[in-house]
Amino acid sequence: MKSIFSVFKRGLQKTTTTVKRSLAAMFSDVKQWDASTFEDLEAALIGADFGVPASLRIVAEIRDRYEHGEIETTADIFRVAETFVRDILAQNQREIRVAEAGKPTVVLFVGVNGSGKTTTIGKLAARLTQEGKKVMLAAGDTFRAAAVEQLQLWGKRTNSVVIAASHGADPASVAFDATSAALARQVDFLLIDTAGRQHTKKGLMDELSKICRSIDKIYPGAPHEVWLTVDSSMGSNALNQAREFSKAANVSGLVLTKLDGSGKGGMAVALHQEFKLPTFFVGMGEQPEDLQPFSPAYYAAAVFGSESLQPQE
């Protein structure tokens, strides 16, 4: 079995390489750092998708430490940046909201096409069933036959019941029926997929609100979580998606996918800095075990190439 920290290190390797190469080259031959040096540092962090606000905060912290004589080497920069990023991401982190004993915890997944919703649901189902939980899946993406088939395949792999309907059926009705079934069968978790809609289409976003109302109608207080899955390689467009989905579906947390796909894994920091939403899981590979609970400490250590954390099972 892969250690948790090793998954983070491997998944964020491209980002680590990008950041460390930029910073090492930037400061290796500099005798005295000046304003232009710190502007270059800001540019390097922004280029890795840390976002402007977070990059400015990180650089301001490094500059203050440097001016107070606390930073002398590139290693010192990495150490300060790691600590600062870890502390930023630790803010607003929390446990998953779960239902009272004997009732299902309902998690609604939203996000655009290609963000990894269906795959994430399948991997999470695998994780939960391995923990002994009874899981039900709902194929709310009724407009894409492949999504239903993909979810049904995950259902077979994880021995989870899948609630689906005919192509083009009302997604809110599927969510209603699935919630009713989850209550009747006393499952532990109901994971609901939704169509990969473009966040600029108001009618489709209104549909998400309808889905939430349908769930709440039969099961007051549900869904307990609404998670936005974000393709971490999408840059500023990921921030735009988060803004729009938050309005439509009352997003309560994030799942960051494809962190291993580019050298721009700083998106986790950019999203947290703007929305203050907790990140619950990160996807860093194709295998079920590559979906891991988000750890600010592991993330920060992996991004900045720290060896301070020992792998843990």
Beta bridge partners of 225: 107
pLDDT of residue 311: 41
b/e per residue 82-98 (b: at least 16 CB within 10 A) = bbbbbebbeeeeeebee
Q: What does the pLDDT average to over 15-29?
A: 71
Q: Is the pLDDT of residue 226 over 50?
A: yes
Tokens of 295: 């750890």
Q: Is the pLDDT of residue 219 over 90?
A: yes
More confident residue, 217 or 8: 217
Q: What is the pLDDT of residues 41-94, one digit of tens each?
A: 888 888 888 889 999 999 999 899 989 988 888 788 888 889 999 999 999 999
- Pair 48, 15: CB distance under 8 Å: yes
For residue 138, which of 245, 219, 234 has the smallest C-alpha distance?
A: 219
Q: Is the dihedral of CA 139, 140, 146, 150 positive or negative?
A: negative
C-alpha atoms less than 13 angstroms from C-alpha of 18 in its C-beta half-sphere: 20
- Pair 41, 34: CB distance under 8 Å: no
Enumerate domains of the chain plus CATH numbers: 4-90 (1.20.120.140), 105-251 (3.40.50.300)
Q: How many residues does the chain have?
A: 313
Spatial distance between the Cα atoms of 171 and 256, rounded to a whole number of angstroms: 24
Q: What is the dihedral of CA 56, 38, 26, 28, to 10 degrees?
A: -120
pLDDT of residue 313: 37
* Cβ atoms < 10 Å from Cβ of 114: 12
b/e per residue 292-313 (b: at least 16 CB within 10 A) = bebbbbbbbbbbbbbeebeeee
- Which of 6-15, 49-58, 133-142 has the least mean pLDDT? 6-15
Q: What is the pLDDT of residues 273-291, one digit of tens each?
A: 888 899 999 988 788 888 9
Alpha-carbon distances of 204 from 141, 146, 199, 213, 216, rounded to whole Å: 12, 19, 8, 15, 19
Spatial distance between the Cα atoms of 23 and 21, rounded to a whole number of angstroms: 6
Spatial distance between the Cα atoms of 282 and 179, rounded to a whole number of angstroms: 26
* pLDDT band at residue 31 using 50, 70 and 90 as cut-offs: low
Beta bridge partners of 256: 230, 282
